[in-house]
């Protein structure tokens, strides 16, 4: 029997759980303990492998101190049931930034820089890196 692929909505909600958890500096183990689950179950939620039920999502929203609507922000509802896995799940660059440890660390470091010229230089460097990555894909 073939394994069923996760639904795009479940992937999106899981990524938003991960984003919020990481923004708060909470480990999967600590979130799992607060939910009475293992970190493996939290991993499955965050990947969209296991669907998060309504009561569990409400519990997660209380623990992560955010409204339930946060988990659905940025979700492309047009064709959500037919979109390829991960399609538009993190289309917003700010969501992408908050979805990784590196992105959170970069945002925190950037916010602590007072000098506008230094901030502008960092933005220019990041844009140059992104252009280089796009050009490498084309080549």
Q: What is the C-alpha to C-alpha distance for residues 64 and 61, in angstroms, rounded to an integer?
A: 5
- pLDDT at residue 41, as a whole number: 97
Q: What is the C-alpha to C-alpha distance for residues 24 and 18, in angstroms, rounded to an integer?
A: 10
Domain map (residue ranges) of the chain: 1-94, 100-139
Q: What is the C-alpha to C-alpha distance for residues 79 and 64, in angstroms, rounded to an integer?
A: 29
- How many C-beta atoms surround the C-beta of residue 60 within 10 A? 23
pLDDT digits (tens, 9 = 90+) for 24-76: 989 999 999 999 999 999 999 999 999 999 999 999 999 999 999 999 988 87
- pLDDT at residue 77, as a whole number: 60
CATH of domain 1-94: 1.10.260.40
84, pLDDT greater than 80 = no
Q: What is the C-alpha to C-alpha distance for residues 70 and 52, in angstroms, rounded to an integer?
A: 14
pLDDT confidence bin for 100, thresholds 50/70/90: confident
What mean pLDDT comes out for the span 11-36? 93
- How many C-beta atoms surround the C-beta of residue 124 within 10 A? 10
């Amino acid at each position: 029997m073939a394994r069923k692929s996760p639904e795009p909505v479940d992937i999106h909600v899981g990524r938003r759980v991960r984003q919020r958890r990481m923004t708060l500096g909470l480990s999967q183990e600590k979130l799992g303990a607060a939910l009475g689950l293992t970190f493996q179950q939290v991993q499955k939620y965050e990947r969209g492998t296991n669907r998060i039920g309504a009561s569990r999502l409400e519990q997660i929203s209380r623990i992560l101190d955010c409204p339930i609507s946060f988990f659905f922000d940025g979700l492309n509802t047009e064709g959500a049931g037919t979109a390829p896995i991960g399609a538009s799940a993190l289309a917003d660059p700010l969501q992408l930034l908050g979805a990784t440890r590196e992105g959170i660390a970069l945002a925190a470091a950037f916010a602590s820089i007072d000098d506008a010229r230094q901030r502008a230089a960092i933005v220019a460097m990041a844009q140059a890196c992104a252009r280089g990555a796009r050009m490498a894909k084309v080549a």
